[in-house]
Structure 1
Amino acid sequence: MANETTITIVGNLIDDPEFRFTTGGHAVVRFRVASTPRYQDRQTGEWKDGTSLFLTCTAWRDLGEHIAESLQRGMRVVVQGRLRQRTYETEPGDKRTVYELEVDEVGPSLRFATAKVTKIRSAQAADVPLHQPWPAVAA
């Protein structure tokens, strides 16, 4: 969709992803990411933590299943998606607004870790052409 706010957040999962199925049978996973900026104090030279941002993320279908199988609390992740604003009313009648990230891409951060990737081939995935940023080179 045009004019959507796409953001990327790097941070740590604060809980294990919560995986479930909707009443319509669609897989969905929710997880929260904490992103804390760090800066160096000019006077002391010490590194300090800034104010943390906590963002709830939601991923659907196969992506949600892959996240639930692959990621766990404490892992540093890179998440990209569309920022959504949702307004709801509490029981006493107060209106609240929350911001959530509808995930398009997610992966472990390799800054402080290594990872092994297992490619999943399914009937659905076979129908979707894969984006190949680099053309194949003939040997």
Structure 2
Amino acid sequence: MNETLVTVVGNVATEPESQTTGAGVQLTRFRLATATRRYDAERGAWTDGPTSFYTVRAWRSLAAHVKESVGLGQPLLVHGRLRIRDDEKDGRRYLSAEIEAVSVGHDLNRGVARFSRGGASAPTVTERQEGPPAGVEAVAVP
């Protein structure tokens, strides 16, 4: 079966939410907003085109890393499998676009990021910046 792989550049439109499936697999989901930028010669300025929204789903270790690393409004690049869903609700048909992420990263054209390897020996973002709350044991992201 052929898959449609896409790379989308945009901004995080919803706070990433994590859950664990019944099988014990971690899933993190968020919405990504992207708009084309075009130069309007009449106005002599850049303008945004229509905004598209994608639901991004990350699984397993990528899900844990996205939850620890990504926040609302941040610029990202998302690479993954595109799925178009055709749903019906209250007698109306809806189309939605979803990306099953293979890779997620910050857009370094718009900022600076620091990478640290995940794993049992690597501190999480919370541990590095603030330390764990009093009486709480810190856990590294697998």
Classify the TM-score, shorter chain.
Answer: 0.7 to 0.9
Code of the aligned partner of 1:4: E
Q: Structure 1's 112 and 97: CA in aligned 2 closer, same or farther, altered over 3 A? A: closer
SS in 1 for 2:63: helix
* Cα distance in 2 between the residues matched to 1:43 and 1:94: 39
* Cα distance in 2 between the residues matched to 1:114 and 1:40: 26
* Cα distance in 1 between the residues matched to 2:31 and 2:39: 26
Select 2:114's aligned residue among 104, 113, 116. 116
Conserved in 1, the CA contact under 8 Å of 2:65 and 2:118? no
Q: CA deviation at 1:25?
A: 1.2
Code of the aligned partner of 1:110: L
Identity of paired residues, percent? Answer: 38
Uncovered stretches (5+) of structure 2, i.e. residues with no partner: 121-142
Matches within 5 A, 1:84-103: 84-90=83-89, 92-103=90-101
Uncovered stretches (5+) of structure 1, i.e. residues with no partner: 123-139
- Does residue 1:20 correspond to 2:43, yes or no? no
* Cα distance in 1 between the residues matched to 2:51 and 2:86: 22
Code of the aligned partner of 1:115: A
Matches within 5 A, 1:16-95: 16-90=15-89, 92-95=90-93
RMSD: 1.5
Q: CA deviation at 1:112?
A: 1.7
* Cα distance in 1 between the residues matched to 2:10 and 2:102: 16
